[in-house]
Amino acid sequence: MAESTNMRLRLPLLCIILEVILIILFGALVEYNDDTHAKMWNANKSHSATRDDYENEFYYRYPSFQDVHVMIFVGFGFLMTFLQRYGFSSVGFNFLIAAFSLQWATLMQGFVHGMHHGKIHVGVTSMINADFCTGSVLISFGAVLGKTSPVQLLVMAIFEVTLFAVNEFILLSMLGANDAGGSMTIHTFGAYFGLMVTRVLYRPNLDKSKHRNSSVYHSDLFAMIGTIYLWMFWPSFNSAITNYGDPQHRTALNTYYSLAACTLATFAFSALVNPEGKLDMVHIQNAALAGGVAVGTAGEMMLTPFGSMIVGFLAGTISVLGYKYLTPVLESKLKIQDTCGIHNLHGMPGVLGAVVGAVTSALASPGVYGHGLQRVFADAETGKWNPQSRGGFQAISLAVTLGMALFGGLVTGFILKLPIYGAPPDTHCFEDGLYWEELVPPHLAFTF
């Protein structure tokens, strides 16, 4: 076993080859955009007195970027530390695949979203978009958590990032969809991609590692660090790339209310579904976040705090019920082993968010949005504005996303099934000792 999971050549080779390719491609293709380029920023300034430093996109987006960055590295990383013997891998592999994905995503998103004279322009907006794409990979990571080697995860990231960029391009550029917070592009895509991967990688004998597939007291507290950071900064996530001014402000506000309502629903249904009325940490850690997912599309629209709270409450409810009743069925009937329950946190709430976005789009009108309409719906300016068809395109976007995710996950799953990546044996899933140097004997750590 030690042989088959040895990372000594596999992991270094893959990391170094990938990074060298990234560096070469960045050297050939990536340039500073006008707001990060010494010559361009100042050239424009000298032409016009109206462009001053406070207009640099840095000041509108960088605080949101840092919040998103915290969600990606601390939020996702620590959320997955709930497993008793998999904390190093949760935080560590999250770190590795995120660091790779954000570079690869910069290239892939740059390719498909349009280059400038053959060059990809980068700045704070590309940083946020790369982090968003990374988030999608980390969602999929949640489904296969504990059952994959770091090499497999990097290979998964290569394919998922690429497909993410294609799907995002179809939605945002071809279908003109709205999805600032990524209910579809990030959550639905990442969830169904990951669920399909874990389906293909189904392990009939995973029971052999069952005793490690659970939490202990401290590991649950570490996971709460992840939960709380995701919860707090979700308003920044959903608003990070909306238009300046009222859309950014409104999106943060809507997300704040959705999450608050979702939290009350989560506590309510967590106690309700337990025979003794006891709360389940799994629900609190995960379902309380579903409200952020579910306003990822409509958050920038005039959803109102009232609407946001209803959506959040629904999202929390279906998420808890999913953890309690659906996850066991998915495993026993559909052979989908979903370690973190991403179907409940990202899958169903993502679909709910897409539907809410389609309905809210279809109800949009100049009477409600005034001159702000085209700041939310880019094509409102063209005169061909038709909210019902907008709603229709939103619905089509959801279908495209589901198709891309399931198909991409299927193909990627089969690629990951090749016996060359050093995947853990069934008896040693959810176990840090396989890939991490041990400092204390396993029977002494975390098992007291």
Least distance (Å) between residue 324 CB and its own copies: 12
Q: How far apart are CA 75 and CA 91, in angstroms?
A: 10
Residue with Cβ nearer its own copies (102 or 330): 102
Least distance (Å) between residue 196 CB and its own copies: 27
Residue with Cβ nearer its own copies (200 or 445): 445
Least distance (Å) between residue 414 CB and its own copies: 26
Under DSSP, is residue 120 helix (H, G, I), strand (E, B) or coil? Answer: strand
Q: How far is CA 230 from CA 214, 225, 261, 346, in A?
A: 21, 9, 16, 13
b/e 192-218 (16+ beta carbons within 10 angstroms → b): bbbbbbbbbbebeebeebeebbebeee
Least distance (Å) between residue 124 CB and its own copies: 7
DSSP 441: -
Strand partners, 31: 121
Tokens matching residue 138:
């980390």
Residue with Cβ nearer its own copies (174 or 420): 420
Residue with Cβ nearer its own copies (201 or 284): 284
Least distance (Å) between residue 31 CB and its own copies: 8
Least distance (Å) between residue 329 CB and its own copies: 20
Residue with Cβ nearer its own copies (82 or 164): 82
Instruction: Tell me if 62 sits within 8 A of 124, measured CB to CB.
Output: yes
Under DSSP, is residue 313 helix (H, G, I), strand (E, B) or coil? Answer: helix
Other CB atoms closer than 10 Å to residue 342's CB: what's the count? 29
Least distance (Å) between residue 310 CB and its own copies: 6
Residue with Cβ nearer its own copies (56 or 389): 56
Least distance (Å) between residue 335 CB and its own copies: 25
Q: What residue type is 424 in one-letter code?
A: P
Strand partners, 116: 119
Residue with Cβ nearer its own copies (359 or 406): 359
Q: What residue type is 323 in one-letter code?
A: Y
Residue with Cβ nearer its own copies (7 or 410): 7
Q: How far apart are CA 78 and CA 227, in angstroms?
A: 8
Other CB atoms closer than 10 Å to residue 350's CB: what's the count? 34
Give the phi and the psi of residue 120 in degrees, each rounded to 5: -95, 125
Least distance (Å) between residue 319 CB and its own copies: 15
Q: How far apart are CA 318 and CA 309, in angstroms?
A: 14
Least distance (Å) between residue 402 CB and its own copies: 30
Least distance (Å) between residue 370 CB and its own copies: 3
CA 434 to chain centre: 27
CA angle 366, 260, 405 (to 5 degrees): 70
Residue that has been written with the tokens 């349009």 in this structure = 114
Residue with Cβ nearer its own copies (192 or 377): 377
Asked whether the CA dihedral 299, 301, 303, 304 is positive or negative, the reply is: positive
Residue with Cβ nearer its own copies (77 or 296): 77
Length of the chain: 448
Distance between first and last Cα of the chain: 26
Residue with Cβ nearer its own copies (281 or 406): 281
Give the phi and the psi of residue 228 in degrees, each rounded to 5: -65, -40
CA 47 to chain centre: 41
